[in-house]
Amino acid sequence: MNMRRDAVAVAVERDAVAPGGDMAPLGEAEFRFLREFVRDNLGISLGEHKSQLVQGRLARRLRALRLPDYAAYCELLRAGPEGELGELASAISTNVTSFFREPHHFDLLADQLLPDWLTRKRRSEDRLRIWSAGCSTGEEPYAIAMVLAEALERHGLRQIDAKILATDISPRALSAARSGLYAADKLEGISDSRRRRWLIQGSGEQAGHVSVHPRLRELVSVRPLNLMHHWPMRGPFDAIFCRNVVIYFDQPSKQRLFRRFADMLPVGGHLFLGHSESMYGADAGFELAGRTAYRKQG
């Protein structure tokens, strides 16, 4: 998931707020249910000491739904969780992302992987696919798109079937990613030349913001997806970015996810993880190919 989206993390304790009004506090039974529900449906492992955090984060959601207490929210999840999973993920997670975060991954993509792939993908039926799994508000897939568009131009392959799939579970994150609109003071990491080439200054109501170039929009497809549930796409992908998403997953969830990623990659395909993540102990058939970059073995 972005639950990252470029990064997802369970919020720190200082972000918790007390529920408003006369709402009863989160009870032990409800917290136990929510811990299990979040683990089973979102892959996140919430520690026993996170009760106050969950209470504070979900209080806003209960008010939005006009629910009287946490027990009613648990019943809502039991009755039909699919419609609420994205909102739950948004409530208990924090999206931390930026353009070209962990730049060594983009250097590897631009300097080695794309030149190699594009040298081989010369036939009309060839295609190139990259997946930003947990795309958060879109900075990661649009940064990938900048690198990809530049590589396609250098190789004279603008017409090649190249696409970036950007997925997340959070409705709010997906809405921001689809808009492609970003505050002008949040562009750290983008070089001046790329700002001039790929970002359009806003005016009027969009003053102080930039929008991504239409060429980048052509390359990026934004879709909702829960990484723990069914994946409708078939692959294969040449590379998968899933950075700062699994850091709070329990080990069995990580193992399952890495194996599913391996099934979506050809031999030699790459998986990128976040700087605090690794595949240590994972039996998924990958070898280290760079800093938190992994190559699928044959």
SS3 of the chain: CCCECECEEECCHHHCCCCCCCCCCCCHHHHHHHHHHHHHHHCECCCHHHHHHHHHHHHHHHHHHCCCCHHHHHHHHHHCCHHHHHHHHHHHEEECCCCCCCHHHHHHHHHHHHHHHHHHCCCCCCEEEEEEECCCCCHHHHHHHHHHHHHHHHCCCCCCEEEEEEEECCHHHHHHHHHCEEEHHHCCCCCHHHHHHHEEECCHHHCCEEEECHHHHHHEEEEECCCCCCCCCCCCCCEEECCCCHHHECHHHHHHHHHHHHHCCCCCCEEECCCCCCCCCCCCCEEEEECCEEEECC
Task: Going residue by residue through the chain, which has 298 residues, state the pLDDT in tens, using 9 for 90 and above.
Answer: 444 433 333 333 333 334 445 678 999 999 999 999 999 998 888 888 889 989 999 999 999 999 999 999 999 999 987 789 989 988 887 767 899 999 999 999 999 999 999 998 877 678 999 999 999 999 999 999 999 999 999 998 878 899 999 999 988 899 999 999 999 988 999 999 999 999 999 999 899 999 999 999 999 999 999 999 999 999 899 999 999 998 878 888 899 999 999 999 999 999 999 998 988 777 789 999 999 999 999 8
Q: What angle do CA 119, 122, 128 make, to 5 degrees?
A: 80
* CATH label, 103-296, candidates 2.30.31.70, 3.40.50.150, 3.30.460.80, 3.30.530.20: 3.40.50.150
Domain boundaries, the chain: 8-95, 103-296
Domain 8-95: CATH class, spelled out: mainly alpha
Give me the active site residues, please: 57, 168
